Chains A and B, each alone.
Chain A
Amino acid sequence: MAMQELPKKDFFAPLKAWKFLGKKPVTIEVPNKVKREASDRYRGFHINDWEKCIGCGTCSKICPTDAITMVEVPGLVRDHGKMPQRPVIDYGRCSFCALCVDICTTGSLQMTREYVHVSEDAEDYIYMPTEKGLDAKRGVYEHGKAPLGWVKDENSDILDLVRVKMPMEEPEVRVKSFIEIVKGYSKEQAEQEAARCVACGICTYTCPEHMDIPQYIESIYKGDLEEGLRWLYRTNPLSMVCGRVCTHRCETACSVGVRGEPVAIRWLKRYIIDNVPFEEYDRILNIRPEKKGKSIGIVGSGPAGLSAAYFLATMGYDVTIYEANARPGGVMRYGIPRYRLPDEALDKDIAFIEALGVKILVNTKVGQEINFDEIAKKHDAVFLSTGFGLGRSTRVPGTDHPNVKQALPMLKMIRDYLRGDGPKPPVPRKLIVIGGGNVAMDISRSMARLQTMEYGEVNVHTLSLERSFEEMPADMDEIEEALEEGVEFHPGWGPIEIVIENDEVKGARFKKCLRVFDENHRFSPQFDENNQIFIEADMVIEAIGQAPDYSYLPQEIQEKLEFVRGRIKTNEYNQTAIEWLFAGGDIVHGPDIIHGVADGYTAAKGIDMYLSNK
C-alpha cells in the first residue's frame, strides 16, 4: 500500500471544510421528561408482574452481582406452587445483564426501556419491581406505560424446559408381562435431569412430607449419592416406593414446570435409591438411637404404618406392627401392580425398617387373631393405619353377580398369583372397567397384561363419568401408557345396568354423562338418558373408590372417636379423641402414599410428644 503522502500545499485545501457549511444542522433539543426512547431490546430498569411471579428466587441465584434478594411480602399467601417472596433489586449492584429476565421461570420479570434514574440519595437505588416500573415514582410515563425492553424469547431462555426422557419398555413388550416399565435413569441422565433444577424449594412446601427435594437433587448433581440418601431418609423411609409410585404433587408445583416440563423429581429420588447398595445403608445413615423403653403398637403395615414405625424406631421406641395379610406393605404390596412397583423394591424398604428393630407380625388380623384391647394394654400408644380396604360399588342392577368384581381384591389376587402365593385370577376375553382413577388404570392395565399372556390380545374397555382425560383423576402418564398398551377409553359414560343373560355377564349399558360436578364442585352427575351405549363383556370390574373398614375397633372406642365422612378426625399431630390413640394414612387424610408417609412422620412426632409429656 502506498503510504499517504502529505498533499502539496494547496491554498484552497482548508476550504474543503466549508462544504459542510451548507448542510442543515441537526440539533434536537433534549426533551424535559421523556428522554430519547431506547431500542426495542433495551435492558433498562426491571418490572415484575406480581400475579405471575411465584417467588422462586431463581433470578437472585443467577445474578452475577448478588443484586437481587428475595423479600417476603406480608399479605401474599404461600400456596401450591407459590411463595410469598418477591425480588428486590439493588441498582447499586445490578449490571443490567438481563440474565434474571432470561432465567425467570414464569416470565414475570422483564425489563423496560427506561434508563434515567438520578438521585443524590443512595437509598433511592434499592427497589422492588412491580408492574408499574421505576418510573411510577417519577411519573415520567403514565403509570405502567414504560415500554417493554428486553424480554425473554426462545433463544435467550436459559432455563431448560425439556425433561430428560425416561427410558421405558416399549408398549408391545411390556404388555406381555409384568416386568417393570420404567427402567430408571443412568448416571449421566440423572445428572442432566438434576441440572435442570433451580433449587427454589417450592416443591418442598407442596410435598405433604416436606421432603428436602432441592437438597437431594443437588446431591445427585454433585454426584454424592450418599448425601442424597441421607436427605431422603431424613423425611421418608419409603423412598424406594415413593421413587416409583408417588403421585408427585411436587412436580405439579415445580417452578420449571410453569413454562416447561417439571423436573422429574420422582425419578431422581428413585435414582438415588437404585444406585446406593442396600448393604451400605446402615453405614451411611448410621441410625443409633437411645432406647426409650416404651413400646408402640401399629395396626396396619401400609405406608403410614411403616413410616410411623421408622420414625418411632429412630427415636428409640420399641415398635410392633400388626398386619392382617401374609406379607407387610399394605396397598403397596397388594394394591399397586407389579409392573409399577416390584416386590423387591418394597422388600428393601421394609427390610431396612425391620433392621432398626421394628417387629412386624404378619397374619395377625386385629379382631380375629388378636383383640384390639389386648394391643391397647400391651403398648403405651397405638397408631391406626388400616387404610381403605373395601371397594365401593356403583350399585346398578346386576352388580351382585359373581363376575362383577371389585378392583382391590382383583389386584390383590393378581399380585398374589404373580408371586406364587395364590391361584390364578379369572381372565375374561372381554372386560369392562368402571372408573377413571388410578386404581381403574391399575386394574385395566393389569388385566390387559393377563389377557395378552392368556389370549394374545387386549380387550379392555374403561369407562368413566369424567368426560375428558384432563378431568379424570388418574395421572396423565398412566392414561397415556394405558392407551399405548391397548386399553380403550370411553370417557363420559355412567353405568345403567350390567346385562346378564343365562346367569352370565354379557356386557353393560351406559348413558352419556353431561356433567360430573355441580357449580359448588359437589359430586352430582347428570345424564342424558336418551344417549346410551352397550358394551359387550364377560366381566365387569368396578373401580370407583374405596371405603374404610373399622369393624376391628371395639364398640366403645368407635363411639369415642369422631368421624368426618368416613375418616377419623385427628388433631395436627394425628392424635384422635382418645389421647393414646393416633391414626393416619387413608383413614385420616388419603389419598396417596406420600400423605401416608407424612402422617406417619407427624404421628411419630405426636406420639413422642405425648409420651414425653406423660
Chain B
Amino acid sequence: MKERTIWEQIADSFRSRSIWMLHYCTGCGAMELPPTMTSRFDMERFGVAPMATPRQADILLITGYLNTKTLRRVIYTYEQMADPKYVIGFGSCTINGGIYFDSYSTINRLDYYVPVDVYIAGCMPRPEAILEAFNYLMEKIRKGEADGWKRYRENYEWYKQNQIRSLGEVYVHDEFHE
C-alpha cells in the first residue's frame, strides 16, 4: 500500500469520525437498523447517521441478500456515491449466499460485484454486532486500510464483467416504459 501523506492521514482521521450511511434497506438485515439508529443502541454517538441520497453518503449497507433486481440498483447507487466510499456486508447472505444459496434470484457473494470493506457474521446481525462493525470500519479508515473504492476503480473491468455475467445487463426498468 502506498504511504499516505500527512494530509491524507488527517483526512482519514476526520472521515472515520463522521460516516454517513445511505438509508437504503436492501434486505432483511435492515430490520435491525431502526433499533441501531434510535435511542436504545444509538449509533449517532459514533458519528454514524443516516443519509437520504447516495451523493452525500459514505457507506453503503448491504443488509443481507441481494436479488438481481436490487443488485442493479445497488450498482447504480454505489457508482453514484462519491469517493471515498465504503461497503458493509450484513450477515451470511453477503458472504456466501446464506440461506438463499440455491435461490434463482439472489446472488451468492457480494464482493464479486462490488468491493466489501467489512462483513458482519450473523443472520441477522444484532445491533451490537452492527456497532462493532462500524467501529471496526472506523479503525480501518483511520489506518487507511479501507480501500474498497480504490479496488473498484482499479479492477473496474473485472467487476463489470462479473456484473454482466450475473445480471445480463445493468439496466433499470421503468414500469411504464413508453
Contacts and interface: CB of A to CB of B under 8 A. Distances in A.
Interface string B75-105: 0000000000000000010111111011000
A94 interface: yes
Interface string A108-128: 000000011111101011000
B129 interface: yes
B117 interface: yes
B165 to A, nearest CB: 19
A64 interface: yes
A115 B92 CA distance: 13
Interface in B106-122: 109, 111, 116-122
Interface string A147-169: 00000000000000000000000
Contacts of A95: 92, 98-99, 123
A93 B133 contact: no
A96 B122 CA distance: 7
B31 to A, nearest CB: 15
A64 B99 CA distance: 7
A65 B120 contact: no
A614 interface: no
Contacts, number: 88
Interface residues of A, number: 25
B101 A66 contact: yes
B140 interface: yes
Contacts of A116: 126, 128-129, 132
Contact of B95 (A36, A92, A115): A92
Interface in B121-145: 121-123, 125-126, 128-129, 131-133, 136, 140, 145
B129 A117 contact: yes
B116 to A, nearest CB: 7
Contacts of B122: 96, 115, 117
A114 to B, nearest CB: 10
Contact of A122 (B119, B125, B129): B119
Interface in A96-150: 96, 115-120, 122, 124-125
Contact of A92 (B97, B117, B128, B136): B97
Contacts of B101: 65-66, 93
Interface residues of B, number: 30
B102 to A, nearest CB: 7
Nearest to A127: B121
Contacts of B146: 120
Centre residue among B120, B121, B126 by max chain A CB count within 10 A: B121
Nearest to B100: A65
A401 interface: no
A65 B132 contact: no
A120 B120 contact: no
Contacts of B120: 117-118
Contact of A93 (B97, B126, B140, B145): B97
Given A35-B132, A118-B121, A93 B116 contact: no
Given A35-B132, A93-B101, A119 B119 contact: yes
B93 to A, nearest CB: 8
B98 A119 contact: no
Centre residue among A35, A36, A38, A118 by max chain B CB count within 10 A: A118
Nearest to B110: A122
B121 A117 contact: yes
A489 interface: no
A35 B96 contact: no
A120 B95 contact: no
A119 B118 contact: yes
A95 B95 CA distance: 12
A35 B128 contact: yes
Nearest to A32: B135
B77 to A, nearest CB: 21
B95 A91 contact: yes
B111 A122 contact: yes
A120 B116 contact: yes
B92 A92 contact: yes
A93 B133 CA distance: 19
Contact of A94 (B111, B123, B125, B145): B123
A208 B124 CA distance: 47
Contacts of A38: 126
A139 to B, nearest CB: 15
Interface in A1-60: 30, 35-36, 38, 45
A488 interface: no
A416 interface: no
A117 B133 CA distance: 9
Contact of B96 (A36, A45, A64, A92): A92
Nearest to B129: A116
A93 B122 CA distance: 9
A115 B119 contact: no
B95 A96 contact: no
B99 A36 contact: no
A115 B123 contact: no
Contacts of B95: 90-93, 122, 125
A260 B16 CA distance: 56
Interface in B25-71: none
9 contacts: A38-B126, A92-B95, A95-B99, A95-B123, A115-B128, A117-B122, A118-B129, A120-B145, A125-B95
Q: 10 closest pairs, A vs B, by CB? A: A92-B96, A92-B95, A117-B121, A95-B99, A35-B128, A95-B123, A91-B121, A65-B99, A118-B133, A116-B129
Interface of B: 92, 94-99, 101-102, 109, 111, 116-123, 125-126, 128-129, 131-133, 136, 140, 145-146
Given A94-B123, A116-B129, 4 more contacts: A92-B92, A94-B98, A116-B126, A118-B136
